[in-house]
A and B are shown apart, each in its own frame.
Chain A
Amino acid sequence: MNRNKNAFTNGIRDGIPIALGYFAVAFSLGIVAKKAGLNPFQGFLSSFLNHASAGEYAEFTVIMANAPYIEMAFVILITNIRYLLMSCALSQRFDPDTLNAHRLLVGFGITDEIFGISIGRTGALNPYYNYGAMAIALPSWSLGTALGIVAGNILPASAVSALSVALYGMFIAIIIPVSRTNKIVGGVVIASFLASFAVSKIAFFDRMSDSMKISLLTVIIAGLAAALFPVKEEEDSEPAEVPEKEDHK
Chain B
Amino acid sequence: MKHLFTYIFLLLGSVSFAQPGPDPKKEQKIQALYVAYITQELKLTEDEAQKFWPVHREYDNEIKGLRAETSELERQQAALNIKKKYQDRFTRILGAQRTNDFYIKDGEFRKKLIERLKNMRQQNMLRQQNFKQGTMQRRQNSLP
- The judgment on whether A and B are partners is no
